[in-house]
Amino acid sequence: MGIKILGGTIIFIRDMKFTLLESLKSVIKEQTGSVEFTFKSMKPWKREGERPTWFVYFNDLEIVDGEYNKYENSIIYLSGDGEEYTVDPKYFDYYQKDNKGRVLLNVLKKENPKVVDKLFGGTGQITSKLIRQALEIAFKENWLPADDIYSPGLRGINTMGERMGNDESWSIMNFFDTKREVQNKIEQKWKKEGNGDILYWLADVFKNDKDFVNELLDIQWGSISNGYKTELYVSDKLSKAIGGKSQFFPPGSKMDRYKSIDMIINGKSYQVKPSSSVKKEGDFYKIKTYGMTNDYKNKSIDFIVYGNSDGKIYVFPNKNYDVKNHTGVEHYEEPQLF
């Protein structure tokens, strides 16, 4: 088992006949059975009645990859207006004659929580969409669009690799739209110093206010560094222990971002989390972690893996657990220990 690093992407390989691109593409196709649409606009619509229901309509749909079959597809990608969303096909209504599709808003936001900002705007002036747009404007030469493997984002500037001492090119700034503390800092600065068009003001801040950007980078890195380090450690150790063909999906990859899959070993998928404590209490295990959600049970994840602070790795099946709060989860199955 070795580690190959190429273009910021890490893939663990036993059979050197597999190239990076071939391996990742084949895994995505095998795992998803996907169809990809582009759309020109999306609009919310409220169905009135005793129980009002919100839908999201995607207009001017065009299939750009795969074939649509509601009962055979396992995932639908929708891309347009600089955004990408994923939908479970069983919840997606495709009106081929009108080139339209719709999905319940509650279903869409479960897998794509930031879509509410896109449709209705955030609670403040600084929204996730605004941050992404400003980053793209500020660093045009570093912004790469989505492709078969990666979601859109910045590469080659303020990278994760610079902090880790490796060549991971995904920018820490790509996470700014996920951190409320970062968004609050930007909003405070806008209220104090902002003028003119807020989008171009923010793009100028990102590009030219080095001290402020470094402050945001430190906040963001403090939030994501432990998880990233755990993913690298667990992926390396677990792939060697189990053996076979292994793929690690790096930051920015669609498998990581949209399907919550950090790695695949011999066709089995894993979501990796850091933990500070794993204790058995009676017939269950109590885990101290962060970022866990009961929604993982609805995704194509075979195992939840915890890299504990003592170096041990606990591998639980993705079932029969309860996320109690943002730092605690209880598992009622026996783990594999590495």
Residues belonging to the chain: 338
Mean pLDDT over 250-271 rounds to 92
Give pLDDT, residue 120: 63
pLDDT digits (tens, 9 = 90+) for 278-337: 999 999 999 999 888 888 998 999 999 999 888 899 999 999 999 988 788 999 999 999
| Confidence at 117, pLDDT banded by 50, 70, 90 | low
Where among 225, 255, 289 does a domain terminate? 225
Asked if residue 57 is part of any domain, the answer here is yes
Structural domain containing residue 235? 229-337
Which amino acid is located at 21 in the chain?
L
Where among 171, 190, 225 does a domain terminate? 225
For residue 85, what are the β-bridge partners?
Answer: 78
Do 242 and 221 sit in the same domain of this protein? no
Helical H segments across 145-267, by residue range = 160-164, 180-193, 198-208, 210-242, 254-259
Where among 184, 205, 225 does a domain terminate? 225
Do 115 and 134 sit in the same domain of this protein? no
Dihedral class, residue 299 (left if φ above 0, else alpha if ψ from -120 to 50, else beta): beta
Asked if residue 302 is part of any domain, the answer here is yes
Half-sphere exposure of 155 (CA within 13 A, CB side): 17
Asked if residue 89 is part of any domain, the answer here is yes
* CATH assignment of the domain containing 282: 3.40.1350
Give pLDDT, residue 18: 43
Give pLDDT, residue 121: 52
Q: What is d(CA 20, CA 7) in angstroms, rounded to the nearest whole number?
A: 10
Do 329 and 274 sit in the same domain of this protein? yes
- DSSP H or E run through 107: helix 105-111
Give pLDDT, residue 207: 96
Q: Please check whether residue 227 is in contact with residue 273, taking contact to mean a CB–CB distance below 8 angstroms.
A: yes
Mean of all residue pLDDT scores within the chain: 85
pLDDT digits (tens, 9 = 90+) for 143-161: 999 888 889 999 999 999 9
Is the pTM here over 0.85, yes or no?
Answer: no
What are the b/e assignments for 324-335, b being 16+ CB within 10 Å?
eeeeebebeeeb
Do 139 and 108 sit in the same domain of this protein? no
**Residue 26 clears pLDDT 60, i.e. is over it:** no
pLDDT digits (tens, 9 = 90+) for 306-323: 998 888 999 999 999 999
Do 235 and 253 sit in the same domain of this protein? yes
Mean pLDDT over 219-247 rounds to 90
pLDDT digits (tens, 9 = 90+) for 68-91: 888 888 889 899 887 888 888 899
Do 219 and 141 sit in the same domain of this protein? yes
Q: How many domains does the chain have?
A: 3
